[in-house]
Structure 1
Amino acid sequence: MNDAAVAEGLTFTESDPGAFLRPHVTHLSAYTERHSDPTSQRRPPFAGVVMIFGFGAPLALSGPGGSRLLASFAGGLHDTYVDTTTAGIAEGVQVNLTPLGARRLLGVPLRELTNRVVSLEEVLGGWATTTLERLAEAPGRAARIALLDEALSGRIGEAPPPDRRVGWAWQRLVATRGTVSVASIAAELGWSSRHLVSRFHDQIGLAPKAAARVLRFEHATGRLRSGMSLADTAAVCGYYDQAHMNRDFRTMAGATPRELVPPPRVIG
């Protein structure tokens, strides 16, 4: 567990989830955020479901699913960006779940959250209200993380597991960073492409091809941040060419690859 300051007005404590949660949760952190003036960010999509258990100043969110003002929310898989604006003082805990972990936790078809952000109470009912009250009373960020780890483990542990065949298909996409043929996945499962899309809409949220695009985008962003050239990134990440990569970045991030990830500065 470590504390860090990542931007003016924001401090957080992060921790690896407990052993039971690790297959379901990829990020777990508690934060305190203070901004005297409105602070805006554009948040590109990622291959997971974000949940904020927050108290204090709400966050203004604007995306394809509309505009909301929420302190606590869940955002399903997106294939485009969301703009956020915050001001004042806010505290809370952020959890990033795998799609299958979110499907198990929430107990609703994830297509209901695709490209949408909703309040926690809309999807978790009274459990969200009780958990938020307990988190607000916890003495500090580390205690909040421990409390939420326990609460999430209990709820997920009581829920039925997701379809293991969809789990296998999702892991194939993740392992290949979205470059495997969706038709080949359907064939290996003995499913029609239509049935695979239907199961993905229920358990993942996005259709397989859209999910693959998000995974390729994540891979490309990571490669660019490591210093790889545009041409090499496009080739390695399965784009037809740089123009194809540029189009995907504009759709998902509202920016070109170099606008999102500027080249490293050369000093000297």
Structure 2
Amino acid sequence: MYEERPSRLAGAVLWTSTPTGGVPRPVLPDGCMDLLWNEGRLLVAGPDTRAYVPDGPATAWTGLRLYPGTAPALLGVPAHELRDRRVELTDLWPAAEVRRLRDGIEAATHPATALEELALQRAAPPAPDLRRLVDALARGRPIAETAAELGLGARQLHRRSLHAFGYGPKTLARILRLQRALALARQGVPYADTAARAGYADQAHLSRDVRALGGTTLTRLLRDDP
């Protein structure tokens, strides 16, 4: 079973996932990075460019999904170094420090709250220009137009995007468009209308992007929703 709630950390979401049997659900690209707690381990989920399907036996997970572009300041590493990866936090921070944090979470009554506290002590708020970029692309604004409004050239925007999000603005826009389409489809909007409203050329274009980024069909994704 999957549950989530807004975090006290700006733009972040706390979530928990407990096994219920059946095939593991794919984790879709969303422009975010996650701080994870799983059976005594602290991990980081880097920015995905394709669906991630957990392997091994199903176990309980707790996660803090960070607002796009904020994880590098918290973790001290550029997002592109973690693209499509799951890494132990000890790969990024001193082992003694991670051990102390891990012990604190294990002793906490609510691991999700302890994970949130960890991030609150270290995270910085989203940079205003990066937040404006995410908000604009999430609404379907053209990249060039958005970059001009932010006073950024194409190369500068690409460099900043790689550091903050793990990939360039075109990939970020594509991922946010997929998330926009999924939100519409979950509301019961017909697929053709979903494609048009989300910014796809047509329904076939939507289907291709869902397959490329999600690894399956839109109907299957909706059916597997928690």
TM interval, shorter chain, is 0.7 to 0.9
Matched, 1:147 2:117: no
TM-score, structure 2 length as denominator? 0.86
| Closer/same/farther in 2, CA of residues 32 and 83 from structure 1, 3 Å limit | closer
Distance 1:31 1:129 in 2: 23
Does 1:204 find its partner at 2:165?
Answer: yes
Match of 1:227 in 2: 188
Q: Could you say which structure has the higher strand fraction?
A: 1
178, 198, 202: which one aligns with 1:237: 198
2:18 corresponds to 1:28: no
Kept in 2, the 8 Å contact 1:54–1:132? The answer is no
Query: 1:16 & 1:109 partners in 2: Cα distance?
Result: 25
Could you tell me how far apart the structure 1 residues matched to 2:156 and 2:82 are?
A: 20
Query: Aligned residues: percent identity?
Result: 28
Question: After TM superposition, what 4+ stretches of structure 1 lie above 6 angstroms from structure 2?
Answer: none
Question: In the alignment, what sits opposite 1:59?
Answer: none
User: Structure 1, residues 186-237: CA drift from partner, whole Å, max 9, x if none?
Assistant: 2122322111011111112121111111111111112112111111011000
Letter in 1 for 2:71: A
After TM superposition, the structure 1 stretch with the greater mean CA deviation from structure 2, 229-238 or 164-173, is 164-173
Could you say what secondary structure the match of 2:69 adopts? helix
Instruction: Establish whether residue 164 from structure 1 lines up as the match of residue 128 from structure 2.
Output: yes
The one of the two structures with greater contact order (alpha-carbon pairs below 8 A, sep at least 6) is 2
Q: Tell me, yes or no, if the aligned pair for 1:100 and 1:203 is still in contact at 8 Å.
A: yes
1:1-268 aligned at under 5 Å gives the runs: 6=1, 15-18=5-8, 21=9, 23-25=10-12, 27-30=13-16, 33=19, 40-55=24-39, 71-87=41-57, 90-126=59-95, 127-139=97-109, 143-156=110-123, 163-174=127-138, 176=139, 179-262=140-223
CA distance in 2, matches of 1:49, 1:121: 17
From the superposition, tell whether residues 39 and 129 of structure 1 become closer, same or farther in structure 2 (CA, over 3 Å). farther
Counterpart of 1:94 in 2: which secondary structure? strand
Structure 2 unaligned spans of 5+: none
TM-score, with normalisation over the residues of structure 1? 0.73
Instruction: Tell me how many residue pairs correspond in the alignment.
Output: 222
Q: Any stretches of 5+ residues in structure 1 without a counterpart? A: 1-5, 57-70, 263-268
Query: 1:83 offset after TM fit, Å?
Result: 1.3
Residue 53 of structure 2 aligns to a residue in which SS?
A: strand
CA RMSD of aligned residues (A): 2.5
